[in-house]
Amino acid sequence: MAEVVSDTAVLELAGVSKTFDGVRVLHDVTLAVRPGEILGLIGENGSGKSTLIKILSGYHAPDPDARVVLGGRDVTASLGAGPVRTGMAFIHQDLALVHSMTVLENLRIARFTTGFGGRIRWAEERRRIRPYLDQVGLGVHPDTRVGDLSVTEQALVAIARGLADISEGENHRLLVLDEPTAYLPHDGVERLFGVLRGLSEHGTSIVFVSHRLDEVRTLCDRVVVLRGGELVGVVDAGDSTEAGLLELMLGRPSEELYPDQATPAGEPLLSVQDLAGGAVQELSFTARPGEIVGFAGLPGSGYDDVPYLVAGARPARSGRLTLNGSSADLATLTPRAGIGLGIALLPADRAVSGCAPNLTVTENLTLPTLAAFARFLVLSRGKERRAALEQSARFGISPREPGLVLRFLSGGNQQKVLLAKWMLGEPRVLALHEPTQGVDVGAKREIFAHLSAAAEAGAAALISTVEHEDLARLCTRVHVLRAGRCVRVLERAQLSPGRVAQAVYAS
Amino acid sequence: MNGRNVLGATLERYAVPVVWLLVIAFFALRSDSFASTSTIKLILSTQTVILIATLGLLATLAVEEFDLSIGSVVGFGGCLLAVLDGRDGWAPGPAIVMTLLVCAAFGALNAVLSVFAGVPSIIVTLGTGTVLAGVTLGVTDSRVVTGISVKTVRFMTDGLLFGIPAPFYGGLLLCLIAWFILQHTPLGRRMIFIAESREVARLAGLRVSAIRFGAFVVTSTLGGLAGIVLAGTNSAANPQAGAYYLLPAFAAAFLGSTTIVPGRFNAWGAFVAVYFLTTGITGLQYLGYAGWPEQVFYGGSLVAAVTLSHLAGRRRLPRVS
């Protein structure tokens, strides 16, 4: 109960730093979480947020001289050795629930009480979890399969499990929620916030990690801002403004947006109308030859579904694509038909959907255009090798040894191979998701140069990425998505990393 | 590649053929009657059934599907031919064509369940294979069926060249075709990609479902052909025979994938493996060991081949789902 809670902090961090391979990703963070408080934690990608959470969850050990006190006990020594289970529970974005199992099984899997002969005492188990379900306002029967629940209810199950996991003897309770709202619908977010407020009124402390400044301001008591591994501010949420938080996060004043420019005239090469699919609710856009169109947004906003939907890799619910005069229904478009139209897809998950790492560079390069290397059914190895050597030279693939198995190449060179593979088919539209993920700076520059060259030659490119700087540097135009819809279009003259970030984080 | 790598790669490619020659030399020294033309003829002419079944199996294995019904199809194919030709008086040609068509249709059934319904092929074919074995018993009243046309039997058993009957040369021709398709056509390359990553293949615009479908049909059709050769050679069909062909075909296919083109299911590797295993078994029989060598050899070499190629990092262990 709020009134009996003591004044001492539930969690205290003092001088917490973390260095990976000589690179300091977290620098001297000092911070206290008060009992019954909802503390927001915000920061850009790479600000050290995830590292801090991983230290708290016991996954990483902090650098020496740090001190972490939890519920009055110094737990520093035990960090890095696995989960810390003293009055603290973590709810991650993916929730980590087993969908085919029941609510009861998900809550109690590791700690069933058993009776004679190891029999699970189901009735007692149901009684035991009831209070936790009540605390999160879940009226579902404990025997309901988690997969049958709504996304919001699943999030609440994860929170109930977190509460149940906190051992009952503890005099404090701390929940850490990592981006819990990314995949929740609007009314689900409100329901979740109601539950969290109720828990905090009854003395549970909550650390709420989020990208969404409006949510953080609505829900939290105080907001902690991380930038470049340092704690740059602790702000009372009531006194904060979105612009102020953004400035703390980005380290520079937020820029005024110029009025939207009139789009230059010219026939579009690609036009997508009323696209819905994945997290995308409704999106229309066009791309003229030579244009590089960017898509940005928070996780769950749908920005990262666009390349896959346009290329037919994932079926859309609806949408129409017109490319160079031919038209296709995006609900039925297959990758094969997409390639036929001239669309090439470079997925983010290189090892699984991008390439066959156990096959050679040549084999990976020629896969989509294999028919061009066969005469009367016979594959010409010589012709394949010549094309592979030519592409290796053109794209600067190193080592220039097309017979090498692809997995022996660096990430950057693998990505160049995949770009080269699609360029062999001379695509009209390149759809890319995180094209420079796991790629070193040099390769990144080369990949961008090839993209620009392809655009200058008359192709169009679509890029979804979290790298706002890349978007600002490369794109003709950037669409910013929120909850599946385009909320802002930034034209070339208005593009800067800060403006993209501002449009992404602020509502 | 440096010299050591080239040497290692060559050793890996030809290890099984070299061991095969050593095995031949060993038995030739130990048994006077082993090294004779009659032994060679015997080995070459009796193993065609396994060779054809193994080549059939390559089609599904190459796209990383498992067809456990291959044995049942061999048994069923032989019995259907014997029933149509021997019992119901069909002419040999139509009986053979009908048998092949029915087996192809059975392969299509496996394909529908695995490819379109999405059930793991290992489960589908375990079930359908068992059903087919039951159907075989039903069709034949659980009795050996005789009376296959003399024409068919003579074609299968009379020496064609060097006293070796026609089916062996047919098997050789099939090997040539399989080698050509798997290694020298776009289709073969596409099958490799489907095995490596179905998603990459799909995103590259390949007709993944059609190719997987075709693979099941080819496996069952060649299984049926193997059954026809079996029944024709014996001039009778035993409804229980299918059970003896499942493991040898898998053993030869996997052992074959460790040689000639290591790491990939390949036709000449399968050819070498079939005759290597037979040589070992026949040799032991010449030395007076009967009964046990067959199962020990086939089972042992299947496990050894898969283990070795897994340890060499050549192949991930097969996915069941």
Q: Residue B166 is part of which domain span?
A: 16-311
Please provide residue A32's backbone torsions phi and psi, each rounded to the nearest 5 degrees.
-130, 140
Chain B residue whose CA is closest to A368:
B204
pTM over 0.95: no
Whether A196 and A310 map to the same domain: the answer is no
Assess B204–A contact: CB distance below 8 Å, yes or no.
yes
Whether A447 and A318 map to the same domain: the answer is yes
Which among A340, A356, A379 is the nearest to B200, CB-wise? Answer: A356
Whether A154 and A275 map to the same domain: the answer is no
CA separation for the pair A331, B208 (Å, rounded) = 19
Whether A241 and A274 map to the same domain: the answer is no
Assess B25–A contact: CB distance below 8 Å, yes or no.
no
Assess A356–B contact: CB distance below 8 Å, yes or no.
yes
Per-residue pLDDT 10s for chain B (321 aa) are 445 567 777 877 888 888 888 888 887 788 777 777 777 877 887 889 999 999 999 999 999 999 999 999 999 999 999 999 888 888 888 999 999 999 999 999 999 999 999 899 999 999 999 999 999 999 898 888 888 888 888 888 887 778 788 889 999 999 999 999 999 999 999 999 999 889 999 999 999 999 999 999 999 999 999 999 999 888 888 999 888 899 999 999 988 888 888 878 899 999 999 998 888 888 888 777 877 888 888 888 888 888 877 776 555 444 443
Only one residue has tokens 């208005």, namely A494
What CA–CA distances, in Å, run from B43 to A173, A278, A466, B302? 77, 60, 65, 20
Assess A167–B contact: CB distance below 8 Å, yes or no.
no
Question: Does residue B320 lie in a domain region?
Answer: no
CATH code, domain carrying A207: 3.40.50.300
Shortest CA distance to B188 belongs to which of B213, B215, B170? B215
Q: Do the chains contact at B189 and A363, CB–CB below 8 Å?
A: yes
Name chain A contacts of B206, Cβ cutoff 8 Å: 336, 367
Which among A339, A359, A377 is the nearest to B185, CB-wise? Answer: A377
Residue that wins the pLDDT comparison between B290 and A305: A305
Question: Does residue A140 lie in a domain region?
Answer: yes
| Cβ under 8 Å to A: B residues 40-79 | none
For residue A475, give the DSSP letter: -
Question: Does residue A396 lie in a domain region?
Answer: yes
CATH code, domain carrying B302: 1.10.3470
Whether A342 and A227 map to the same domain: the answer is no
Whether A221 and A302 map to the same domain: the answer is no
Neighbours of A426 (CB within 10 A): 13
CA separation for the pair B244, A353 (Å, rounded) = 40
Q: Do the chains contact at A374 and B203, CB–CB below 8 Å?
A: no
Question: Does residue A460 lie in a domain region?
Answer: yes
Q: What is the pLDDT of residue A6?
A: 45
Name chain A contacts of B184, Cβ cutoff 8 Å: 378-379
Name chain A contacts of B201, Cβ cutoff 8 Å: 367
Which among B186, B200, B202 is the nearest to A354, CB-wise? Answer: B200
Assess B197–A contact: CB distance below 8 Å, yes or no.
yes
Number of domains in chain B: 1
Q: Residue A144 is part of which domain span?
A: 2-250
Whether A203 and A276 map to the same domain: the answer is no
Question: Does residue B316 lie in a domain region?
Answer: no
| Cβ under 8 Å to B: A residues 358-387 | 358-359, 363, 366-368, 370-371, 373-374, 377-379
HSE-CB at A474 with a 13 A cutoff on CA atoms is: 30
Q: Do the chains contact at A340 and B205, CB–CB below 8 Å?
A: yes
Name chain B contacts of A373, Cβ cutoff 8 Å: 186
Assess B142–A contact: CB distance below 8 Å, yes or no.
no
Residue that wins the pLDDT comparison between A173 and A317: A317
ipTM of this model?
A: 0.82
Q: Do the chains contact at B197 and A345, CB–CB below 8 Å?
A: no
The mean of the pLDDT values for chain A is 84
Q: What's the Rg (C-alpha) of chain A?
A: 26
Q: Residue A260: which pLDDT band, with cuts at 50, 70 and 90?
A: very low
Q: What is the pLDDT of residue A222?
A: 93
Question: Does residue A278 lie in a domain region?
Answer: yes
Q: Give the number of beta-carbon pairs within 8 Å between A and B.
A: 63
CA separation for the pair A218, A234 (Å, rounded) = 16
Q: What is the pLDDT of residue B38?
A: 79
Shortest CA distance to A301 belongs to which of A154, A179, A178? A179
Assess A406–B contact: CB distance below 8 Å, yes or no.
no
Question: Does residue B130 lie in a domain region?
Answer: yes
Whether A219 and A295 map to the same domain: the answer is no
Whether A327 and A418 map to the same domain: the answer is yes
Output the DSSP codes for A417-442: HHHHHHHTT--SEEEEESTTTT--HH
What CA–CA distances, in Å, run from B8 to A358, B168, B192? 19, 33, 24
Which among B193, B205, B207 is the nearest to A356, CB-wise? Answer: B193
Q: How far is CA B72 from the centre of its chain?
A: 12
Question: Does residue B291 lie in a domain region?
Answer: yes
Would you say B52 and B100 are in contact if contact means Cβ atoms under 8 Å apart? no
Which among A335, A359, A371 is the nearest to B186, CB-wise? Answer: A371
Under 8 Å CB-to-CB from A31, ≥6 apart: which residues?
A12, A13, A224, A231, A234
CA separation for the pair B305, B297 (Å, rounded) = 12
Whether A209 and A282 map to the same domain: the answer is no
Name chain B contacts of A336, Cβ cutoff 8 Å: 205-207
Whether A143 and A69 map to the same domain: the answer is yes
Whether A243 and A301 map to the same domain: the answer is no
Shortest CA distance to B159 belongs to which of B147, B171, B168, B150? B168
pLDDT at A262 over 60: no
Structure tokens at B107: 């392969």
Number of domains in chain A: 2
A225-247 pLDDT, tens digit per residue, is 998 888 888 989 888 888 888 88
Q: Do the chains contact at A359 and B184, CB–CB below 8 Å?
A: no
Chain A residue whose CA is closest to B188:
A379
Question: Does residue B171 lie in a domain region?
Answer: yes
Which range is least confidently modeled, A142-156, A300-314, B2-16, B104-118?
A: B2-16
